[in-house]
Structure 1
Amino acid sequence: MIYDVYTLAAKDGAWIQVQLAIQPGYRFQWSGRKDRRSQEWPQRLHAAFRGQGWKWPARRITAMARPAEGPALGHEADLALAVGVLRGSGQWGAWPEGRGLLVGQLDLHGAVHPVPTTAPKEASAAEFAWGCVPWELKHRHFSGEAHIVGVSHLLEVEGYLRTGQAPKELPKTLRPLDWGPLPPLRLSADLTAQLEVAAAGGHPVFWMGPPGTGKTQLARALWRMNQRLGMDGPLIEPVPPKGNRIPIERWIQDAAQGHLFMDEVGEWPLKALESVRKPLEMGATPFTYSAASNPCPCGFLGHPKRRCACPVSRVEAYQRRFSAPWLDRFHLVGHVLSDPEDEMVPWEAMYFRIRQARERQKERKVGLNAYLVDDALWKTVSVSTKAWADVRNWQERKGMGERSVQAVLKVARTVADLEGLQWVQPRHIRQAVVWHWSSQGFTSKSDPWDPEDSWST
């Protein structure tokens, strides 16, 4: 099958039709307006695809530019070729009717960059049914064309083709073009999803796991993700205290618009541990926070390969240090274990989902979901009848207080925002409960629902 897309030649402003044929085999061939850099396309686009979970197909790809005469095509054809390959290989299912215009250079992160171009030879782009171009090009040449939308990333192109909703322009400080590198992390699918929810809603997280599994890296990654979302404050990592008195108010003040990470909380004196409860809840300045601990004194309780050397009595005493009121200050609890089969975190794809969820929260004008209180919480959550019944069922069986119920509702609201849904569904409640501390043991991820429970879906 032949797939057609159109692009704009940078040097002469001509509309160029790019025809793509994808067949069995393994070869890339470009004809017409050929540039010496054309053989670099498979390698560069494959790198851009991988960060989003796609790949350059192991197929024979033949691309042809028409008209073939004229100056060579360069990076301005990146986006057209990428979208054509992803559609032709079946990795993208959506495809609008009519001719599509795609212009822009892709970097290895999948971000769409503008390319210096001359003005189009034709007066307008009315012959195209839809189009995606960099924002700078949109403002320069297509400001009056509503069907030609501005984009800043390949994920925005995919979202537009799939849903028909035009992406919103972001300030340059929030665009992925200005990102520094995020740490390469291998995480389980559950922990990756939890990290995404924490960043999307500003939720506090408590991570448990053996030494060296990446708990500190997770906190730093969460902070750096928040930086790219507009919270550009510092990361505060206080030294674990040895006495009962700690300057928690100063830590919170220093972490304004940033992130407070409390490490090795299992080793803190008990009074120091309990003293952070009210300040964390009553913090006057916006900030996010997380904490981390080993599951036992030696650190290896529940480890799949190493045996715990702690007596049972020491393990029980260690775990009793974390009281229910203290754990209630954390909306999410996660287990961090190293597994060679874990996959790399797709930061770029995660960032765009988080950004869209943040936009939905911004439109409600009540702040991040983690900060919702009182009337703002109940007006914002929008829980379906079945989901609300499930919340109360869980509360009664587990004996949870209202603070725990509110934490579950806030997390469920964020999960729904990430899915782009207005109403919180039972599956969102179930996921929030699974991540709640009452469902998470130090040694295993137990299912909080009894097998005989009748659950709505």
Structure 2
Amino acid sequence: MSFALVYSRALCGTDAPLVEVEAHLGNGLPQFHLVGLPDTEVKESRDRVRAAIVQSGFEFPAKKITVNLAPADLPKESGRFDLPVALGILAASGQLAADGLARYEFAGELALSGRLRAVRGALAMVRQGRLAGRAFVLPADNAAQAAVSDGAEVYGAADLRAVAAHLSGAALLPRVRAGAPVSLPSVPLPDLGDVKGQHTARLALEIAAAGAHSLLMVGPPGTGKSMLAQRLPGILPPLSEEERVAVWTLRSLLPQTQQQEEALLQQRPFRSPHHSASAAALVGGGSDPRPGEISLAHCGVLFLDELPEFERRVLEMLREPLESGVVHIARANRRAVFPAAFQLVAAMNPCPCGYLGHPSKPCRCSPESVRRYRDKISGPLLDRIDLTIEVPALSAAELTHTRAGESSAAVAARVAAARQRQNARQGKTNAALSPAELDGEAAGIGSEARQTLAAVLERLSLSARSYHRILRVARTVADLAGDDTVTRAHILKAVGLRRGL
């Protein structure tokens, strides 16, 4: 047989389109051609495949070898095609039975010794392969990721020789049990009990956790803004099965070194990029689109410290994902859609020197410099933030004599109860409620509450978006209190937690 067909997958965002690896051996001078819009990494696989086949005990055919990666108009990148290319050559040369190839898909980078190295996007490829009804053969290092996805038939292999033995029936590969728990390192989360005082900020953090609301904290340096933000994941509910798969699908798109740094499977993501981050780093992009920080914070928290220090152009790119929960990356020859349902938490100083309104340290900033500093954050972006609070400086007496507050476990219990009420009532968090759902009877917003909010809107000249965001926060305040109906008191509390600037 001089022709063989092997299935694999490319990556385009979180999508993994099918790639047919066609290998043909013909007469003529020994050559090795690789076609089908491969990039440099894929073209270099010719040398890796040749060495891996020989080192695995097979013969590299002295023929004119042509390998086509179809469809031809789909860009192919990375070394994931090494394994299917090698199997295609072995099957086409008769060294490997081709009968069983059709029920599998393959991906893996080959070392010169024939050992399989892990690749990016393993979970995304496995999910697509499962929908196609085929099993997947991956490097053993990727097998743990595949265990996150239920219903997938996945086999982990150490080297090319083991894959060939499995296909010939000589020695079957171990199958990764679908949904098996993955043994990954974990670290204890910071506890909210470490925070002294700051009752308003603690309340805002609890409301933000209960309803998945965005939060902006304004205050002088050293008042605990970053400390509070870092303790938000500890009071959030654990990831559901669906969220866990979504988070790890995005994690699998990262290089292996970064995946190990993010190996906290049960905990919600917490991303805190530096304020020098570029637009591509924050939102995603590149010629081969990769997820940015907002997508890596999907189902978790994106913390932006020193918010006005970010480039305004970069911050403005957050506006659409905050509303839609997805980000669209468009390039001349590629398009990618990444989920970005993140919870934004930001912190900033009240002025450039940081001490505007401080009880003991004078502010050195002019009114004009304060205005320019705050103008770095646009009105439309502020309008999309649900809670805006002030985090004041604590006195020495408050720091030394105030007892620690409630632990994260106590607050997390109330947050979980509020989330259960929301899921029972509407099947989603309050932050995800649409304007039509807020106007309906199911939201439980009383007529007195609506009249109170209408009067506040008239007095403060707030936008229609602010109207609905205040309603969402008020609904969360009522859920934390165990009330079925949103009252005037809930509305006033929600308004009071939106006036930090």
- TM-score, length basis structure 1: 0.54
1:343 is displaced (CA, Å) by: 4.7
Paired residue total: 262
Counterpart code for 1:386: E
Q: How does 1:196-345 map to 2 (within 5 A)?
A: 196-226=206-236, 228=238, 232-241=267-276, 247-249=282-284, 250-284=292-326, 285=339, 286-339=341-394, 340-341=397-398, 343-345=403-405
1:225 is displaced (CA, Å) by: 1.6
Question: Cα 1:245–1:258, aligned 2, differ >3 Å: closer, same or farther?
Answer: closer
Query: 2 CA distance for matches of 1:257 and 1:275?
Result: 19
1:372 is matched with 433
RMSD between aligned residues? 2.2
Query: 2 CA distance for matches of 1:242 and 1:252?
Result: 12
Query: 2 CA distance for matches of 1:396 and 1:354?
Result: 32
Counterpart code for 1:345: G
2:13 is matched with none
Query: 2 CA distance for matches of 1:349 and 1:227?
Result: 12
Q: Match for 2:200 among 190, 195, 205?
A: 190
Residue pair 1:179, 1:228 contacting (<8 A) in 2 also: no
> Secondary structure of the residue that 2:299 maps to in structure 1?
coil
Q: For 1:410-443, what per-residue CA distance to the aligned partner results, in whole angstroms no more than 9, with x for missing partners?
A: 000001001111110000000001111xx333xx
Counterpart code for 1:189: H
1:51 is matched with none
Question: Cα 1:181–1:209, aligned 2, differ >3 Å: closer, same or farther?
Answer: closer
Identity of aligned residues (%): 35
Residue pair 1:366, 1:376 contacting (<8 A) in 2 also: no
1:421 maps onto 2:483 in alignment = yes
Bigger radius of gyration among the two: 2
Question: Cα 1:247–1:352, aligned 2, differ >3 Å: closer, same or farther?
Answer: closer
Question: Cα 1:191–1:180, aligned 2, differ >3 Å: closer, same or farther?
Answer: closer
Query: 2 CA distance for matches of 1:234 and 1:244?
Result: 20
Q: How does 1:46-445 map to 2 (within 5 A)?
A: 182-183=191-192, 184-226=194-236, 228=238, 232-241=267-276, 247-249=282-284, 250-284=292-326, 285=339, 286-339=341-394, 340-341=397-398, 343-347=403-407, 348-379=409-440, 380-436=442-498, 439-441=499-501
Residue pair 1:204, 1:290 contacting (<8 A) in 2 also: yes
> Secondary structure of the residue that 1:403 maps to in structure 2?
helix
Q: For 1:5-41, what per-residue CA distance to the aligned partner results, in whole angstroms no more than 9, with x for missing partners?
A: xxxxxxxxxxxxxxxxxxxxxxxxxxxxxxxxxxxxx
Residue pair 2:281, 2:293 contacting (<8 A) in 1 also: no
Counterpart code for 2:383: D
1:358 is displaced (CA, Å) by: 1.0
> Secondary structure of the residue that 1:207 maps to in structure 2?
strand
Question: Cα 1:422–1:301, aligned 2, differ >3 Å: closer, same or farther?
Answer: same
1:293 is displaced (CA, Å) by: 0.8
Query: 1 CA distance for matches of 2:375 and 2:489?
Result: 31
1:242 is displaced (CA, Å) by: 6.4
1:377 is displaced (CA, Å) by: 2.7
Query: 2 CA distance for matches of 1:308 and 1:259?
Result: 32
Counterpart code for 2:489: R
1:163 is matched with none
Structure 1 unaligned residues grouped into runs of 5+: 1-177, 442-457
Query: 1 CA distance for matches of 2:392 and 2:273?
Result: 24
- TM-score, length basis structure 2: 0.49
Question: Cα 1:179–1:229, aligned 2, differ >3 Å: closer, same or farther?
Answer: farther
Stretches of 4+ moved more than 4 A in 1?
Answer: 178-181, 227-231, 242-246
Counterpart code for 1:304: P
1:406 is displaced (CA, Å) by: 0.6
Counterpart code for 1:274: E
